[in-house]
Amino acid sequence: MILLVLLGISLFFAVVLAFVGDWRYAPEINIAGSAATFSAGVVLALHVYLYGPMMVGHKFFFVDAFNVYLAVLTSFVSMTTAIFSRRYMRVERAHGRVGRWKMRFYHAMYQLFIFAMLLALLTNNFGVLWISMELATLSTVLLVSLYRTPTAIEAAWKYFILCGVGIAQALFGTVLLYFAAERVLGVGGEALLWTNLSQVSNQLEPTVLRLAFVFLMVGYGTKVGLVPLHNWLPDAHSEGPTPISAVLSGLLLNVALYALVRCKVLVDGSTGSHTAGRMLMGFGLLSILVAAFSLLRQKDIKRMFSYSSIENMGVATFAFGIGGPIATFGALLHMLVHSLTKSAIFFTAGHASQMHGTQEMDKIRGLISGNPVVGWAFIFGAIALVGMPPFGLFASEFLILTATIKDAPLLTPLLLLGLGVAFAAIFRKVQPMVAGAVPPWQTPLKAAHVPVLLHMALVLILGLYMPRFLSDWFHMAVGILK
């Protein structure tokens, strides 16, 4: 029940905002909608935490520890992003970059996007999972090109085509999966349900699943932004309005990775080997290295952080690939803290570029003196992002690295290289932006402090004092993904 409410709210608000999205209180409505979604999500989470996994609507929805925490995360970040976008879009509108229709469209699509992601997370059916992934893409494509600048349109087009092609591969994989499942579970909708598949995964036909996983890997991997399928990501994440960049980097990637991991569990279950895991490790490592080195030569602030998203997703993918309790725990934690940190970073980056009227990092200077909250949040966000304590990403990277050196010691030098380069690259750019005196072209700005501070506080807490229930969740999830 609560689950349907959870899904319903965002859909409902999507419709509402489609009509009143340009009203002057539309942002507040948007916030209210996401807040409601969030509270529903919390209730659902509590329910799962107390009574364990559950299935709703003729096995159509399935909630377990793994996806419920992602659902809560998604609704939470979408709420804070809504709060942020209130201030942000107001400034954008004042600058005349978006008009009434665009505001409408923006708000409606925002809610639709959240709906798509929640559906993808909560559904039990691989087919529906695919559909909602596609829906999530489609709902954001036009948001990326919201500003109608040539680069924005180019980015959106690449996003549309590349993800479309990728996701098509995923559908083919799903067909193959269905094909294999049907021969065990019989014809009909039952055969695509995760709950059934996960039980019989060891009876599924390995050859077929291996083939299927190739397509699923390429399909969902494209959406995770794994090298070499990542090319759309920096463009799409840097050209759209910042709130969209935040949710794309912070949430959509997670959802895609979630889909990928579910498939991986099935495939490894069926083949009984570690094939899929190794594939994930390979893609993850490649992504880390390529992203790290690409970071070195960035000029555009949002583009740089999109690359760091690729890097961090690579880390998480790699960790899932390793498997084993420690690494999986680390990967789950990494998904969580990364999306919190990355969205916070995007908030501050957005404000920074608004203050300087450009996204070029060489023009952004003296943030701490200009706007202390933004400045400090920015530098601490960067510190958290590169995996320094006492922030949460350190905890996850700590677990992942130690697990790596236990299970795949020969890869650690590469990992060390990647993380080191990424650190150097990001700090090389961030430091001058926060430090120094205020440049003449900087304009003061009423920044949205709440979301940033909230996220940073959470990341800090997760690094210093992770609540017991969260780790219980993670342990449950680890059990599921074994």
Partner 1 sequence: MAPFDIAVIALILMFAPVILAPCCAGSRSLAIHLSFTMTAAASIAAVIAGILAVQHGVNTTAIVDMGLPDLPFHLRLDPLAGFFLCVIGLLAFFVSIYSIGYVKGFSANRSIVRFVIFYSLFIVGMFLVVLADDAFFFLVAWELMAASSYFLVMYEDEKAENRRAAYLYLVIAHVGAIAILLSFGVMAGLANGFESFQGYTFASMRATTYPLGWATAAFFLSFFGFAAKAGVIPLHVWLPEAHPVAPSNVSALMSGVMLKASIYGIIRITFDFLKVYPWWWGGIVLSLGLVSAVLGVLYALMQHDLKRLLAYHSVENIGIILIGLGLAMLFTSFHLPVLAALALIAALYHTLNHAMFKGLLFMGAGAVLHATHERNMEEMGGLIHKMPWTAVFFLIGCVSIAALPPFNGFVSEWLTFQAFLLSPALHRPILSLLIPLGAALLALTGALAAACFVKAFGVTFLGHWRGHASIQAVKEVDWHMRIGMLLAAITCFSLGIFPTVVINWMDILAEKLVGGKIATTAGKFGWMWLTPYAHERASYSSFNVFIGILSVVLVTYLLLHAKRTAIRRVPAWDCGFARTTSRMQYNATSFSMPIRRIFGPLFHIREESEAIQPVRHPAYPEKLRYRLRVRDRFWTWLYEPIGNVAFFVARLVGNLQQGRIQVYLIYSFVTIIVLLVFLG
Partner 2 sequence: MTPSYAAQINSVMAALILLTAFGLLIQRRILGLLHLFAWQGFFLSVSTAIVGYVTGVHHLFISSFLTLTLKVILLPYILYVLMRKLNIKREIESLVNIPATMLIGIALVIFSYHLTSPITHLSTLVTRSTLAVALATVMLGLLMMVTRSHAVTQIIGFLAMENGLFFAATSATYGMPMVVELGVALDLLIAAFIFGIFFFHISTTFDSLDVAQMAKLKEED
> Which residue, 183 or 475, has its beta carbon nearer to partner 2?
183
Output the six-digit token pair for 89: 């879009």
> Considering the rule CB under 8 A, would residue 198 count as an interface residue with partner 1?
no
H-type alpha helices, 225-295 = 232-239, 242-247, 253-271, 275-295
> Which residue, 303 or 365, has its beta carbon nearer to partner 2?
303
Contact 285/414 with Cβ under 8 angstroms? yes
Q: Which of 29, 70, 192, 335 binds partner 2 (CB under 8 A)?
A: 192
Task: Kindly give, in sequence order, each residue whose CB lies less than 8 Å from that of residue 74, ignoring residues fewer than 6 positions away.
Answer: 41, 114, 117, 118, 121, 251, 254, 255
State the nearest-atom distance from the C-beta of 304 to partner 2, in Å: 11
Restricting to residues 139-158, name those near partner 1 by CB under 8 A: 157-158
Picking from 235, 226, 262, 233, the residue whose alpha carbon sits closest to that of residue 249 is 233
Q: Report which residue type is found at 354.
A: Q
Q: Which of 297, 409, 410, 465 binds partner 2 (CB under 8 A)?
A: 297
Of partner 1, partner 2, none, which one sits near residue 229, judging by CB under 5 to 8 A according to partner kind? partner 1
> Which residue, 158 or 334, has its beta carbon nearer to partner 2?
158
Length of the chain as a residue count: 482
Q: Which residue has the tokens 């995996």?
A: 387
Q: Which of 96, 186, 188, 444 binds partner 2 (CB under 8 A)?
A: 188
> Considering the rule CB under 8 A, would residue 214 count as an interface residue with partner 1?
yes
Of partner 1, partner 2, none, which one sits near residue 205, judging by CB under 5 to 8 A according to partner kind? partner 2
Q: How far apart are CA 45 and CA 469, in angstroms?
A: 11
> Considering the rule CB under 8 A, would residue 258 count as an interface residue with partner 2?
no
Torsion angle of C-alpha atoms 398, 402, 407, 408, degrees rounded to 10: 80
Burial of 274 (0-12, 13-18, 19+ CB in 10 A): middle
| DSSP-derived 3-state class of residue 360 | strand
Q: How far apart are CA 446 and CA 238, in angstroms?
A: 22
> Which residue, 291 or 476, has its beta carbon nearer to partner 2?
291
Q: Which of 386, 408, 448, 456 binds partner 1 (CB under 8 A)?
A: 386
> Which residue, 136 or 332, has its beta carbon nearer to partner 2?
136
> Which residue, 211 or 326, has its beta carbon nearer to partner 2?
211
Q: Which residue has the tokens 């932006």?
A: 433
Restricting to residues 396-425, name those near partner 2 by CB under 8 A: none
> Considering the rule CB under 8 A, would residue 99 count as an interface residue with partner 2?
no
Output the six-digit token pair for 27: 């942002």
Residues near partner 2 (CB under 8 A), total? 49
Contact footprint for partner 2 (CB under 8 A): 125, 127-128, 130-131, 134-135, 138, 141-142, 145, 148, 150-151, 153-158, 160-161, 164-165, 168-169, 171-172, 174-176, 178-179, 182-183, 187-189, 191-192, 205, 207-208, 211, 234-235, 239, 294, 297
